[in-house]
């Protein structure tokens, strides 16, 4: 005989089989599970979660029962459009086991190397050019025999399966899926590097930052828009903000924060050849194309650089900068790496 527990079991199974789902689909799945169980046992009195509050309550109750298993139904908002997605995630697993069924150990090492470059990108750019991503193949340890062509295929697969985003400009960044499902890994590996939105308290890798030096406020675009409708000043330092998240003098978090040559100035040692540098410059020249519509214009990046310089001068962790001198740069002075701890 079907019981209320069957609704939960069916719902969890459907979440598991789908991975990350939109909020609308998540609600539909739950409604279908209720329907199916009611069809089997008409006497059951199961609340249909047709309001937001009722649905939140369902998720909350499920999470109580999942807690002992280190599982949780988590949701996060897409950083580019603000839409919410849900997934059943392992809250303890910080070893990317989620990817083990689809990828070889060498491919997972490659993925980690890409994530590393994205997380440690200068100027809070949280993105990596295609050239720099491919170059990571030769740096992974233990040495893999993955060719660049194979690496291109694997990169395309990371994008197709939703682990990475690839922008129009050809830069890789973290996806909603990665932020949601791989958060334990990101947290344990980059605890100090993660930036959190002042409004929604979720990780920010695409958005804006307050332009006052040392002000820690970072917001997603959608959180900025929500906040800016009612407030004109920074929630922390109270400096006046312009209307749009992409307006000067606000700073950029994400691809729009990239400055020329940043990808050639990564902090990991001994990895470039001159040929690669040339390719990188071509990539950067491309960047005058419009990128993602919600992102700031290029002119803004220089401001970020000068602000960051002021910030990083007082940063005690400068030890990873040593290779900067050998890197050609178009700037008067090389921009510092983004500071490594913020909260």
Binding region for Zn ion (CB under 5 A) = 197, 199-200, 210, 212, 215, 217, 220, 223, 234, 236-237
CB of 343 to Zn ion, least distance (A): 14
Nearer to Zn ion, 266 or 338 (CB): 338
CB of 304 to Zn ion, least distance (A): 14
CB of 224 to Zn ion, least distance (A): 8
Q: Of 53, 61, 73, 60, which is closest to residue 12 (Cα–Cα)? A: 73
Nearer to Zn ion, 44 or 237 (CB): 237
Nearer to Zn ion, 77 or 144 (CB): 77
CB of 251 to Zn ion, least distance (A): 10
| CA dist., res. 171 & res. 129, Å (int) | 4
CB of 233 to Zn ion, least distance (A): 8
CB of 226 to Zn ion, least distance (A): 8
Nearer to Zn ion, 10 or 245 (CB): 245
Nearer to Zn ion, 125 or 217 (CB): 217
* C-alpha distance from residue 60 to each of 9, 14, 51, 54 (Å): 15, 17, 14, 10
| CA dist., res. 112 & res. 95, Å (int) | 10
Q: Of 282, 193, 211, which is closest to residue 247 (Cα–Cα)? A: 211
Q: Taking the CA atoms of the chain, what radius of gyration do you get in angstroms?
A: 22
CB of 198 to Zn ion, least distance (A): 8
Query: 290-323 as b/e, with b when 16 or more CB fall inside 10 Å?
Result: ebbebbbeeebbeebbebbeebbeeeeeeeeeeb
Nearer to Zn ion, 155 or 210 (CB): 210
Nearer to Zn ion, 150 or 216 (CB): 216
């Amino acid at each position: 005989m079907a019981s209320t527990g069957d609704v939960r079991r069916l719902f969890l199974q459907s979440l598991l089989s789908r991975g990350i789902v939109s909020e609308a689909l998540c609600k539909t799945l739950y409604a279908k599970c209720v329907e199916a169980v009611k069809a089997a046992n008409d006497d059951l009195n199961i609340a249909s979660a047709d309001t937001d509050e009722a649905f939140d309550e369902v998720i909350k109750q499920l999470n109580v029962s999942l807690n002992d298993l280190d599982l949780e139904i988590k949701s996060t908002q897409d950083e580019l459009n603000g839409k919410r997605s849900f997934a059943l995630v392992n809250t303890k697993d910080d070893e990317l086991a989620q990817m083990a069924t689809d990828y070889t150990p060498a491919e997972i090492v490659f993925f980690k190397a890409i994530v590393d470059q994205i997380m440690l990108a200068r100027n809070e750019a949280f993105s990596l050019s295609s050239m720099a991503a491919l170059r990571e193949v030769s740096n992974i340890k233990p040495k893999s025999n993955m060719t660049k062509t194979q690496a291109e295929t694997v990169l395309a697969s990371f994008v197709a399966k939703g682990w990475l985003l690839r922008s129009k400009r050809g830069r890789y960044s973290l996806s909603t899926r990665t932020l949601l499902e791989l958060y334990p890994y990101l947290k344990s590996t980059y605890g100090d590097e993660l930036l959190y939105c002042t409004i929604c308290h979720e990780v920010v890798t695409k958005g804006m930052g307050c332009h006052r030096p040392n002000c820690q406020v970072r917001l997603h675009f959608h959180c900025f828009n929500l906040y800016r409708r009612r407030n004109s000043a920074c929630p922390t330092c109270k400096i006046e903000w312009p209307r749009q998240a992409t307006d000067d003098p606000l700073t950029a978090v994400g691809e729009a924060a990239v400055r020329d040559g940043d990808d050639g100035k990564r902090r990991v040692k001994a990895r470039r050849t001159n040929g690669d540098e040339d390719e990188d410059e071509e990539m950067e020249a491309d960047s005058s194309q419009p990128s993602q519509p919600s992102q700031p214009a290029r002119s803004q990046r220089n401001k970020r650089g000068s602000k960051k310089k002021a910030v990083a001068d007082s940063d005690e962790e400068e030890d990873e900068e040593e290779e900067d001198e050998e890197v050609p740069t178009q700037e008067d002075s090389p921009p510092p790496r983004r500071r490594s701890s913020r909260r």
